[in-house]
Amino acid sequence: DTAVSQTPKYLVTQMGNDKSIKCEQNLGHDTMYWYKQDSKKFLKIMFSYNNKELIINETVPNRFSPKSPDKAHLNLHINSLELGDSAVYFCASSQAEGTPLHFGNGTRLTVT
């Protein structure tokens, strides 16, 4: 009965590869987000989508491309992976502006 689920939980890959992280929410929320937590444990927003439309795109390299096929899904595709991309990536959703965010349990990406 998971509310926000991400796959995979762990992802180990080599520099230069392309990978995707999937996120699905079954809460019927309109807005979905991607956050990145770096090695210093800072959580920073990367993107937000509202009803499949991109709302926030923080200073993120264009190697990162979110894709929202429908309101319940927001996938993150990363091209040409770099060592600095190693982090934990969290997907989240919320019903509307200002309402609490529900986070997934994260995907730990390790680039070697």
Q: Which residues bind other proteins (CB under 8 A)?
A: 4, 30-31, 33, 41-45, 48-51, 53, 55-56, 90, 92, 96-98, 100-106
Q: What is the DSSP letter of 100?
A: P
**Min dist. Cβ of residue 16 to other proteins (A):** 28
Distance between CA atoms of 88 and 79, rounded to whole angstroms? 17
Max Cα distance, the chain (Å): 38
How does strand 10-13 pair with strand 107-111? parallel
**Min dist. Cβ of residue 45 to other proteins (A):** 5
| C-beta closer to other proteins: residue 2 or 20 | 2
**Min dist. Cβ of residue 71 to other proteins (A):** 11
Distances (CA, A) of 53 to 2, 6, 12: 24, 20, 30
**Min dist. Cβ of residue 58 to other proteins (A):** 8
The single residue listed with the structure tokens 């934990």 is 88
